[in-house]
Amino acid sequence: MTLPDDSALLHYEAALAGIARLRGQAFMAGTEADWDELREHVTQAFWQARMTPRVTPREVAATPYCRAIPLLERQGKHVEALRKGMLAAERSVSTRYTVAPWAALVHGRTAIASGLPRHAYEYGFVIRLYQLLLEACATSGASP
């Protein structure tokens, strides 16, 4: 869903449309896997950029469908791990991936140091799933 004042999302959608146009041109070299990889890089760059200002050591900012979520001090000390968890959750529910969210959580947490950083990653994963659930309910007319 594109919000009227969300220029980042408009640029992201334009970039994906441009990739689709280039992909269809015969003179452009590259395999399907190359184009899929490029599209994925654009998607991940967009979400990285979007989440950076939205997550601070004090809170995860409100979204159009979810209130701001305060962070505990120990979670705020590991904001980067929290963001990685949020990105992993975002990817796990993407239609481009066939990995179940719980498998993405288990796999992703192994790359994070144990202790508080790993807890922050897990917290970020669950926060983003919660935000996405609220958004899906709001846009479909269902209630959570």
Same-domain check for residues 68 and 116: yes
Domain span at residue 81 reads 57-144
Same-domain check for residues 5 and 65: no
| Tens digits of residue pLDDT in 74-116 | 888 999 899 889 988 988 887 777 788 999 899 989 989 999 9
Same-domain check for residues 87 and 50: no
**pTM of the entire structure?**
0.65
Backbone angles phi, psi at 138, to 5 degrees: -65, -40
Domain count, the chain: 2
Same-domain check for residues 68 and 47: no
Same-domain check for residues 135 and 87: yes
Same-domain check for residues 87 and 17: no
Across 27-52, b (16+ Cβ under 10 Å) vs e yields eeeeeeeebeeebeeebeebbeebbe
Q: Over the chain (144 residues), what is each successive 10-residue block's mean pLDDT?
A: 50 77 70 77 71 79 88 90 89 79 91 93 94 87 66
CA atoms within 13 A on the CB side of 1: 10
